[in-house]
Amino acid sequence: MANANFYEIIQTLFIELGYDSKDYSFVDKEDTILENSFISRDLFRKNYFLVLFISDENKIRDIIKNQAKYFFLLKEFFGEDPDIDKNTSLLICIQTSNENNSLFLNIEEDVYYFKKYVLTYSNEQLTSFITDYRGLIEEKGIKIAMDKIVNDVQLFEDFKQNPDINGVYKLITKIFIKIPILRVPINEEKTVYSLSEVIEDSLKNKGLYDLKVRLDFLRESKYDEGTILESLIELYKEEEVD
């Protein structure tokens, strides 16, 4: 694990969570995006994750263009399992220093075929995680090491003070957020906090929290799609003016 790449880290994490993981590149050998990919299935809950790894942000558009192909190849591979239609997520892991790309948000809001999550990471974050927690990873595994990090009060306080620090705590909290089957462990000996608090603090620091509140209200409302779209346009205009 000392020289592990992000593919190995994430695949090992899924295995530790009780998922059966298989290489997925064989379904289309000519598709370079699938060269680094795997499919994970939880046999008990019947959840599926198609996990892709890219280093070129521009390829994310190709992923969306080809998502129908990926989806139907998945259905063919698993024999038309009806759970695929409602319980399949697409996790796109991107090695990049650009974490605020609006394109990533648009991808996650795309409602077709998959529930989508974009997980960004840097080589520095990955190296820090593997180097600083090597002993714990080798002895207890990836998930236990991640649990230790998110329960580290000092790391949490440091991150609250400067959420733009590109460190290992930021990476691990993003993994918890982007892989929703993960649960944050509760350490009763320390102050309990949630990842939602981390997200809200980050939004407040960037002056975006009020916008989030208003978007959440619209999302939970019973307004028709046309009304919601008009409201979003007005919100956008207000943000442009500000």
What span, in angstroms and rounded, lies between the C-alpha atoms of 51 and 189? 35
Residue 207 makes CB contacts below 8 A (sequence gap 6+) with none
Report helix, strand or coil for 66.
coil
Least confident of 56-65, 103-112, 165-174, 229-238: 229-238
Which residue in the block uniquely carries the two structure tokens 């019973």?
A: 222
pLDDT digits (tens, 9 = 90+) for 149-195: 988 888 888 888 887 777 899 999 999 999 989 887 766 444 445 55
Neighbours of 196 (CB within 10 A): 9
pLDDT digits (tens, 9 = 90+) for 60-95: 888 989 999 988 888 887 776 777 878 889 999 999
pTM of structure = 0.75
What span, in angstroms and rounded, lies between the C-alpha atoms of 90 and 67? 9
Name the pLDDT band for 227 (thresholds 50, 70, 90).
low
Burial class, 14, CB count within 10 angstroms (exposed 0-12 / middle 13-18 / buried 19+): buried
Length of the chain, in residues:
242
For position 74, what pLDDT does the model report? 84
pLDDT digits (tens, 9 = 90+) for 5-54: 999 999 999 999 999 988 888 888 888 888 889 999 887 767 889 999 99
For position 25, what pLDDT does the model report? 86
Q: State the amino acid at position 107 in one-letter form.
A: I
Q: State the amino acid at position 146 in one-letter form.
A: M
- Measured CA to CA in angstroms, residue 19 lies from 10, 15, 33 at distances of 11, 5, 22
For position 191, what pLDDT does the model report? 46
